[in-house]
């Protein structure tokens, strides 16, 4: 578990001591198609070296031990690496192996008497299975009738998620950190959970609810988020561990890294994926506090949640996801500044260690390892998509070189125990195959289907609903499992009949669907306003507080933040007002098919 309790001593930081990075200059013609193709081939080889090592020496156990070439159960005895690697097989286009693994997994059940982390099981197992389920139409698998609202991987994901639900039976609605997959929360389980362990469910549970039409998953995830939100300080900051029964903060240091990180990520992603602007409003609110108190020369320090004074002037490897989030919300220039700082640490140390002391410019003792984490590469990939700045490719190549140089073993890739001398440890976490290799590949594979700009999509029909798949509007969960946003419309939301009715009888239907009564509203706009839906990429959509002129209504409702909001804020990702053929405005991308 990533339960990291910060030391609560105050360190005085001085501006002049902080390193601020300079941008390296890569010639425009440096990363040719040929060069990129070589890098892709290298990343593929790297992936299969580790994947085959896992299959040969570790499966069906959770993880490969890459120094001794053995296997070990770590997070739950559920063949974790196999499940976590599945969506990467789809991204690499290995449909044969994808089908073989799906066949193996279809016979699986999660009914076992083992205690597991609720957070890790959700992001790796539930997230991995849902993503593979949504990508399975690309692999040539025989789809069940009614897919994506049916299917073996969806049932398996739901089986796992159901077993996590007892964790949410606390007096605050925030989940316990551990459950027994068969018997629920262990009687002696601590009520203390980290903030990320409370607020990192809305992506997976939202997808699950929308596909299965069982609202319970989304509802518990929203309740947990709302409860966290209610416990924010007057500065808009959160601590890093909380008692889920009493609502008391147990660790009050606030940062963007370990034990909090993916909470922020899921506010942005959950909002975009599910069309929930209240989550984005929460994010904007937190961002004010983060910018005001934590940001120091484009580093982000730990501060006390009530006073905002710096408590720990460090940079953690886990924080390197942040430029990716900033890029997603359109803040590319801020993202670039931070990533240049982080890249300097890589150049200085050889890897990004778990913790780097920004003042002393050295690895922090006891936090000197590098467990093959993806965060820096994740940000490089998102920021490259947003800017096409080739310096980001060069930084990605630096990470690849470091991994190849120091972590490769005869049967896989190993955690760096100490980034100062590059000693290795006998562990290869499953996120190496789920995230690190996937983001590296996607950084260099500029034409991958994941990067589609939404100029095409694949129409799909389930009973009375039409939906559009494969538009490039993918939301990655925090374990890098991509979820196809358009697929959710196949099982949830208005049917074709609703849409036609609303198109022909706008007045009656807009009364029945007032903003207060439903989130799935439709209203009518003139064809000229449909033009405004054309946006180049879904990322550019997220930071627009109000969607294009798709909604004709201006009624107001109250959000969690207490602000009045116009109903047009209800839909961030669907062009809800457009007539039928323009309804596939997923992520603002496909308005004119």
Binding residues for Ca(2+): 478
User: Minimum CB separation from ligand DMJ for residue 206, in Å?
Assistant: 17
Say whether 120 is catalytic.
yes
Strands (E) across 454-581 are located at 458-462, 465-469, 474-476, 482-484, 556-558, 564-566
How many residues line the site for ligand DMJ (CB under 6 A)? 11
**Nearest by Cα to 469 from 195, 235, 143, 193:** 143
Pick the stretch among 205-213, 306-314, 371-379, 530-538 that binds ligand DMJ (CB under 6 A). Answer: 371-379
Binding mask 295-334 for ligand DMJ (x = CB under 6 A): -----------------------x----------------
Pick the stretch among 66-74, 372-380, 419-427, 462-470 that binds ligand DMJ (CB under 6 A). Answer: 372-380
Shorter beta-carbon distance to ligand DMJ: residue 466 or 478: 478
* Residue among 122, 262, 271, 304 that touches ligand DMJ (CB under 6 A): 262
Using rule CB under 6 A, residue 193 touches ligand DMJ: no
> What's the rounded Cα separation, in Å, for the pair 95 and 30?
32
Shorter beta-carbon distance to ligand DMJ: residue 133 or 373: 373
Using rule CB under 6 A, residue 84 touches ligand DMJ: no
- Rg of the chain's alpha carbons, rounded to an integer? 23
Shorter beta-carbon distance to ligand DMJ: residue 158 or 319: 319
* Residue among 413, 431, 439, 538 that touches ligand DMJ (CB under 6 A): 431
Using rule CB under 6 A, residue 551 touches ligand DMJ: no
> What's the rounded Cα separation, in Å, for the pair 226 and 220?
10
Provide the sign of the torsion angle of the four alpha carbons 402, 403, 404, 407, taken in this order. Answer: positive
Element (H, E) at 415: strand 415-418
> What's the rounded Cα separation, in Å, for the pair 593 and 589?
10
Q: Please tell me which residue in 62, 63, 84, 120 is annotated as part of the active site.
A: 120
Strands (E) across 168-219 are located at 178-180, 192-194
Pick the stretch among 211-219, 373-381, 384-392, 500-508 that binds ligand DMJ (CB under 6 A). Answer: 373-381
The β-bridge partners of 194 are: 241
User: Minimum CB separation from ligand DMJ for residue 479, in Å?
Assistant: 5
Say whether 245 is catalytic.
no
Shorter beta-carbon distance to ligand DMJ: residue 430 or 568: 430
Shorter beta-carbon distance to ligand DMJ: residue 198 or 583: 198
User: Minimum CB separation from ligand DMJ for residue 431, in Å?
Assistant: 4
Shorter beta-carbon distance to ligand DMJ: residue 202 or 469: 202
Q: How far apart are the first and last CA of the chain?
A: 46
> What's the rounded Cα separation, in Å, for the pair 496 and 467?
10
Sites for ligand DMJ among residues 434-453 (CB under 6 A): 435
Using rule CB under 6 A, residue 479 touches ligand DMJ: yes
Pick the stretch among 355-363, 367-375, 413-421, 545-553 that binds ligand DMJ (CB under 6 A). Answer: 367-375
Binding mask 104-143 for ligand DMJ (x = CB under 6 A): -------------------x--------------------
User: Minimum CB separation from ligand DMJ for residue 154, in Å?
Assistant: 22
Element (H, E) at 158: helix 152-164
Cis peptide before 148 (omega within 30 of 0): yes
Using rule CB under 6 A, residue 382 touches ligand DMJ: no
Q: Please tell me which residue in 158, 204, 319, 354 is annotated as part of the active site.
A: 354
Say whether 97 is catalytic.
no
User: Minimum CB separation from ligand DMJ for residue 174, in Å?
Assistant: 18
Q: Please tell me which residue in 261, 298, 429, 484 is annotated as part of the active site.
A: 261
Say whether 204 is catalytic.
no
User: Minimum CB separation from ligand DMJ for residue 482, in Å?
Assistant: 14
Shorter beta-carbon distance to ligand DMJ: residue 82 or 235: 82
DSSP codes of every residue in 6-59: PP-------GGG----------TTSS-HHHHHHHHHHHHHHHHHHHHHHHHHTT
Provide the sign of the torsion angle of the four alpha carbons 294, 3, 115, 437, taken in this order. Answer: positive
Only one residue has tokens 């002391």, namely 357
DSSP state of 175: P
* Residue among 88, 212, 478, 551 that touches ligand DMJ (CB under 6 A): 478
User: Minimum CB separation from ligand DMJ for residue 583, in Å?
Assistant: 33
Provide the sign of the torsion angle of the four alpha carbons 501, 503, 504, 506, taken in this order. Answer: positive
Distance of CA 258 to the CA centre of its chain: 15
Helices (H) and strands (E) in the chain, counts: 21, 25
Only one residue has tokens 């980034």, namely 419
User: Minimum CB separation from ligand DMJ for residue 533, in Å?
Assistant: 32
Binding residue ranges:
478
> What's the rounded Cα separation, in Å, for the pair 207 and 220?
13
> What's the rounded Cα separation, in Å, for the pair 291 and 303?
12
Q: Please tell me which residue in 281, 298, 319, 375 is annotated as part of the active site.
A: 375
**Nearest by Cα to 172 from 250, 280, 245:** 245
Shorter beta-carbon distance to ligand DMJ: residue 262 or 574: 262
The residues assigned a catalytic role are: 120, 261, 354, 375
Q: Please give the residue ranges that form the binding site for ligand DMJ (CB under 6 A).
A: 123, 261-262, 318, 373-375, 431, 435, 478-479
């Amino acid at each position: 578990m990533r339960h990291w309790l910060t030391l609560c001593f105050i360190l005085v930081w001085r501006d002049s001591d902080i390193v601020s990075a300079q941008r390296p200059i890569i010639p425009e013609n440096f990363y040719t198609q040929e060069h990129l193709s070589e890098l892709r081939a290298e990343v593929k080889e790297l992936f299969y070296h580790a994947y085959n090592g896992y299959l040969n020496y570790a499966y069906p156990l959770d993880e490969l031990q890459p120094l001794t070439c053995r296997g070990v159960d770590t997070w739950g005895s559920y063949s974790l690496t196999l499940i976590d690697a599945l969506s990467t097989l789809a991204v690499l286009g290995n449909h044969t192996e994808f089908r073989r693994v799906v066949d193996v997994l279809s016979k699986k059940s999660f009914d076992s008497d083992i205690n597991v982390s609720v957070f890790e099981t959700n992001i790796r197992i539930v997230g991995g299975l849902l993503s593979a389920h949504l990508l399975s139409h690309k692999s040539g698998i025989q789809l069940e009738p009614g897919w994506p609202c049916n299917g073996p991987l969806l049932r398996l994901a739901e089986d796992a998620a159901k077993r996590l639900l007892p964790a949410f039976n606390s007096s605050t609605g925030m989940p316990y950190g551990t459950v027994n997959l068969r018997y629920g929360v262990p009687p002696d389980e601590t009520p203390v959970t980290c903030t990320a362990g409370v607020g990192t469910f809305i992506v997976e549970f939202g997808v699950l609810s929308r596909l299965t039409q069982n609202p319970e998953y989304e509802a518990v995830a929203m309740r947990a988020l709302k409860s966290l939100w209610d416990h924010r300080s007057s500065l808009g900051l959160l601590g890093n561990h909380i008692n889920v029964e009493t609502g008391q903060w147990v660790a009050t240091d606030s940062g963007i890294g370990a034990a909090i990180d993916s909470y922020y990520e899921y506010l942005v992603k959950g909002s975009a994926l599910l069309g929930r602007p209240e989550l984005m409003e929460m994010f904007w609110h937190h961002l004010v506090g983060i910018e005001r108190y934590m940001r120091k020369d484009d580093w982000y320090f730990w501060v006390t949640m009530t006073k905002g004074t710096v408590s720990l002037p460090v940079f953690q490897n886990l924080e390197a996801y942040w430029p990716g989030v900033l890029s997603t919300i359109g803040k590319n220039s801020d993202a670039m500044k931070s990533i240049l700082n982080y890249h300097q640490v890589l150049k200085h140390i050889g890897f990004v260690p778990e913790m780097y002391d920004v003042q002393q410019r050295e690895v922090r003792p006891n936090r000197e390892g590098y467990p093959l984490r993806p965060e820096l590469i994740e940000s490089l990939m998102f920021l490259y998509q947003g800017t096409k700045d080739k310096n980001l490719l060069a930084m990605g190549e630096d990470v690849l070189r470091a991994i190849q140089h120091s972590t490769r073993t005869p049967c896989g890739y190993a955690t760096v125990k100490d980034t100062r001398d590059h000693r290795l440890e006998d562990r290869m976490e499953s996120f190496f195959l789920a995230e690190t290799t996937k983001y590296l590949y996607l950084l260099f594979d500029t034409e991958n289907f994941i990067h589609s700009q939404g100029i095409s999509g694949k129409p799909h029909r389930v009973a009375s609903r039409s939906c559009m798949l494969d538009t490039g509007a993918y939301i990655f969960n925090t374990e890098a499992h991509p979820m196809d946003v358009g697929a959710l419309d196949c099982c949830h939301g208005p049917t074709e009949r609703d849409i036609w009715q609303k198109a022909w009888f706008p007045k009656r239907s807009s009364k029945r669907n007032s903003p207060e009564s439903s989130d799935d509203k439709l209203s009518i706009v003139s064809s000229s306003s449909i033009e405004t839906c054309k946006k180049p990429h879904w990322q550019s959509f997220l930071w627009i507080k109000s969607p294009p002129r798709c909604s004709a209504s201006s009624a107001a409702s109250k959000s969690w933040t207490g602000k009045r909001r116009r109903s047009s804020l209800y839909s961030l990702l669907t062009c809800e007002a457009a007539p039928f053929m323009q309804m596939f405005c997923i992520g603002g991308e496909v308005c004119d098919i």
